[in-house]
Structure 1
Amino acid sequence: MTAELQQHSSHYSLIIGLGQTGLSCARFLLQQGNAVAVIDSSEKPACLNALQKDYPEVVVKTGGIPADWLMRADSIVLSPGVDPRLPQIRQAAEAGIEIIGDIELFARHANAPIIAITGSNGKSTVTTLVGLMAQRADKKVAVGGNLGTPALDLLTDPAPDFYVLELSSFQMETVHSMNAFASVILNVSPDHLDRYDSIEDYQRAKQKVYHGTGVMVINRDDPIVSAMAVAGRDQLGFSLHESTGYEFGVLTQRGHLWLAEGDTPLMLVSDMKIAGSHNIANALAALALGSVMGLPMDAMLKALKEFKGLPHRCRFVRELHGVRWFNDSKATNVGASIAAIEGLAENGKIVLIAGGVGKGQNFAPLSPILNNYVCTIVLIGQSAEELARHVPETVQIHFAADMKSAVQAANNSAQTGQQVLLSPACASFDQFANYADRGDHFEQAVRELAA
């Protein structure tokens, strides 16, 4: 295969990782007239068949990431799932070989303003909301990135009015030249600490979204994000408290909570179909971004009233015997679970199903939240015992071998007026294909409960 690579081209871009993102990179670079080679550590990468069917001329190496392939490349395009700390990637970087990702490629070729959205939690919801708001305002908008369509597949001629991108910290690691029209870091909580040497490295990856000259949308309630605000740059804030001027916040009038712009009430929070304080913050962030884009307020509010939420993100499943069941399988870190628990807490005590792969997180911040809002916790998966060490004595603990058993244990524990919440605070890959598969198993088990 190495001889074939040498014959193939003395100048080529090497793509590492052949999932959807890697395939989109290959497609884009080939359309640009570049020679391309692809490697993947897996013997059977997800998109190998698709690549070989559409581009049989591309040389592919599976089952490893050989250093000699990297050292001969003109540039290396890393898929987000590939850790740039791998020794052979560091060696290539030290040799002066350019290492980029799909978002850097996208930024170099984008032909319309970019709305860039990142954060530990809520980014898919906000990305989808901003896209809906733009559509309600009759704007042509291309939505994707870490959510849905890979960014490079969004590039079109003629250009849309806006690109709206969800961006992960992994994607931001290899970005250097993006200058978003408006960008937001929704929040920062510890996540992916198996990928970063420190929490500061994780924060620095997120912070790249604010590079450039565009408007910085700032979560005024998050001290880490607030500290990233740059003096002299255009800023627009949002907060779960009252705001001033053109910033977005909340107001209480005649006993009802309103989304507000400064001291102007916009719509009743109760008119939204998505629940919880974290979703109020998501709505305010979307309004701030939309206002920077110049979207009419009535179009934005119409989108907010219509939006039912995304699957596996605090979605209502069913009510049974006075107990409401919610699927928040997308909560793969502690911060996301805390947001979900606090968001639902006003509606009664919670029976929580949690556990999975902990990813090196510290579970200690869950303890006071569990003490305040959770009566029973059902633990599953690889990190169940570790999680149990942070459960306060006020909370009853059950262990379950699988999701069906966990749902049954939660059903046995829950009393009328309470809620059962799947919000694992962990990744899913010890027992499930992904968070969606985990959520599907949960919903199936909930639907099978006898009425």
Structure 2
Amino acid sequence: MRLEQFRGDRVAVLGFGREGQSAWRLLKQRADLQALEVWCESGALPTEVSGRVAEFDQGLAAYDVVLRSPGVPVDHPALREYRRQGGRIVNPSSIFLSERPELPVIGVTGSKGKSTTASLLAHLLRAESDSVVLAGNIGLPLLDQLDTTASLVVAELSSYQLADLEGRLRLGIITRLFPEHLDWHGSVEAYYAVKLRLAELLDGQPLIINGRDPVLKLATSAVPGRIESNRAPFFNRREDELMLDQAPLLRSRDLRLVGRHNLDNAALALEAACLLGRPLMPLLDALRSFQALEHRLETVSTAGERRWINDSIATSPHATLAALESAEGHPVVLLVGGQDRPSDWAPVAQWCQRRPLRGLVVLPDNGDRVARALEAAGAVEAAKIRKAEDLDAAIAAAVQLSRAGDTILLSPGAPSFPRFRNFEARGLQFREAIQRYLDRSTA
């Protein structure tokens, strides 16, 4: 939907997070509206913003158009009723795609690795002097880049954003596919369907997938233009080495990224960059210089004869498993726990059965349930489990369980809500708690 199509409308922006604020600013400045209001179910609105804080209800019928921020479920009862009555619901990112159809947009999604892959791809393209915008679920909202003079956009797209996104993409990447955000989507099938909407937005343009993911490979088997990267003859990972077909390019130790799964991400990013016509050797040089993103297997410190790793981004057991795989060969004290929602810890239990944890520290709200599941599976001994109410207590417990040379890994396997605003806030507090412990221990 283009901005000119809002002329004379009464518009409500639902939700006032990053994208809601971006949409409000844009419409306030550029759209000729009859009325513009913001409607949130919680929190508070700035004094300059007209709107309300209350549950969404039949009052939506008073608006000609509703802009749905990503955090608002597409099947919210009030939105279902509004849709049934013929109301127009617009995804803010759809406005960007409508306003800038000439600008190539590369969409990146996946159950894990989408932020790193999107950031890495933008880094690789900039090394070739491309003017590239990194936006969407990472960095700035797409609408904040409406006037960009860049030649290309790399957009990380979450399932919340993809659910009703409209427009066309130039190229797509899907990194992994496993159950996530089931509390928001309602079922595995619904979640997978939303992720695969990326293929619909490509309209036959190339879709690069991680060919090592059997679920993703099966789910995209009928997609035209699919490229099974991370398998020969394309860029692919073989153990700790990145290959092009059968030819070795570099090893994991050559990169500043931790974990084999990041070689998978690198293979996908290289595939996209080369498909866009960029030469290989400068891309490999750029790959070596890429820094890991914050809160994603981030080494916080190696002080105190221990390696402290912040993987606060891990909001599912599958992500925790990837973090454990990256630490193979080092005894691990694992910190887990967060929002209590349906999740399957069996893959983590199976890994830990073969590679026992040094210790397990569990946090609210679902930590007790995770501990019971792993103990029942024989993945950790009861004597090696500790409960903690906060990160300071968790660090103290982890130190007691660990030995010199061990890795203390925060990889919660659950969302940060409601105890933290987001995973970034959780990761920052983990860093601060580590520093407080180190300051005390060296005082």
Normalising by structure 2, we get a TM-score of 0.90
User: Number of residue pairs matched?
Assistant: 422
Report if the CA contact (8 A) 1:248-1:288 is conserved: yes
1-side partners of 2:340 and 2:289: how far apart?
35
Alignment of 1:243-322 (within 5 A): 243-245=231-233, 247-251=234-238, 257-322=240-305
Deviations 1:208-229 (A, max 9, x none): 1111221110111112211233
Q: How much has 1:196 moved relative to structure 2?
A: 1.5
In the alignment, structure 1 residue 71 sits paired with structure 2 residue 61: yes
Q: What CA distance in whole angstroms lies between the structure 1 residues aligned with 2:366 and 2:223?
A: 45
- Provide the rounded CA distance (Å) in 2 between the counterparts of 1:86 and 1:229: 28
| Residue number in structure 2 paired with 1:98 | 88
Which of 147, 158, 161 matches 1:168? Answer: 158
Helix, strand or coil: the match of 2:327?
Answer: helix
- The answer (yes or no) to whether the contact 2:134–2:155 under 8 Å persists in 1 is yes
- 1:356 aligns with one of 338, 342, 349: 338
Q: What are the within-5 Å matches in structure 2 for residues 347-426 of structure 1?
A: 347-373=329-355, 374-392=357-375, 393-395=378-380, 396-426=384-414
Aligned to 2:118: 127
Structure 2 residue aligned with 1:23: 21
- The whole-number CA distance in structure 2 between the counterparts of 1:215 and 1:121 is 20
Given that 2:162 and 2:195 are in contact with CA atoms closer than 8 Å, whether structure 1 keeps it comes out as yes
One-letter identity of the residue aligned with 1:370: C
Shift of 1:321: 4.9
Counterpart CA distance in 2 for 1:221 and 1:131 is 23
- DSSP 3-state at the match of 1:317: strand
Residue 226 (structure 2) aligns with: 235
Q: 1:314 to 1:43 in 2, by over 3 A?
A: closer
- Residue in 2 aligned with 1:181? 170
**Could you tell me how far 1:10 is from its partner in structure 2?**
6.5
Within 2, Cα distance between the matches of 1:216 and 1:341?
29
Counterpart contact for 1:318–1:325, Cα < 8 Å: yes
Secondary structure at the residue paired with 1:381?
coil
Matches of 1:209 and 1:231, distance apart in 2? 14
Q: CA deviation at 1:31?
A: 4.2
Deviation at 1:127, TM superposition (A): 1.2
- Alignment gaps of 5+ in structure 1: 1-8
Cα pair distance change 1:92/1:61, threshold 3 Å: same
Distance 1:445 1:62 in 2: 34
Over 3 Å counting, the alpha-carbon distance change for 1:157 and 1:348 in structure 2 is: closer
Alpha-carbon displacement from aligned partner over 1:6-30 (angstroms, at most 9, x marks no partner): xxx9722321111220111122334
Aligned to 1:6: none
What are structure 2's unaligned runs of at least 5 residues? 1-6
- TM-superposed deviation, 1:339: 0.9
Q: Distance in 2 between matches of 1:196 and 1:442?
A: 29
* Amino acid in structure 1 at the alignment position of 2:418: D
Structure 1 window deviating more from structure 2 (133-142 vs 412-421): it is 412-421
Q: Distance in 2 between matches of 1:440 and 1:88?
A: 36
Deviation at 1:43? 4.7
Contact kept? 1:134, 1:290, Cα under 8 Å = yes
How far has the Cα of 1:230 moved from its partner?
Answer: 5.1
Q: Partners in 1 of 2:237 and 2:345 — Cα distance?
A: 31
Deviations 1:371-400 (A, max 9, x none): 233231100111111111211335121111
Cα distance in 1, alignment partners of residues 418 and 22 from structure 2: 28
Q: 1:62 to 1:231 in 2, by over 3 A?
A: closer
Once structures 1 and 2 are overlaid, which stretch shifts more, 9-18 or 391-400? 9-18
CA distance in 1 between partners of 2:237 and 2:379 (Å): 33
CA separation of 1:229/1:194 partners in 2, compared to 1, >3 Å: closer, same or farther? closer
Alpha-carbon distance in structure 1 between the residues aligned to 2:28 and 2:430: 42
Tell me the distance in 2 between the aligned counterparts of 1:109 and 1:223: 37
Q: Which amino acid aligns with 2:20?
A: G
1:78-135 deviation per Cα after TM superposition (whole angstroms, max 9, x unaligned):
0011122222110011112222212222221223111101111111111111111111
Q: CA deviation at 1:331?
A: 0.6
Report if aligned partners of 2:320, 2:411 keep a CA contact under 8 Å in 1: yes
TM-score using structure 1 length:
0.88
Q: Match for residue 324 of structure 2?
A: 341
State the shift of 1:64 in Å.
3.1
Q: Contact 1:251–1:263 (CA<8 Å) still a contact in 2? A: no
C-alpha distance in structure 2 between counterparts of 1:299 and 1:14, whole Å: 47
Q: CA shift at 1:232, angstroms?
A: 7.1
**Fraction of identical pairs, as percent:** 29
Aligned to 2:3: none
The verdict on how the C-alpha distance between 1:157 and 1:340 changes in structure 2, with shifts beyond 3 A counting, is: closer
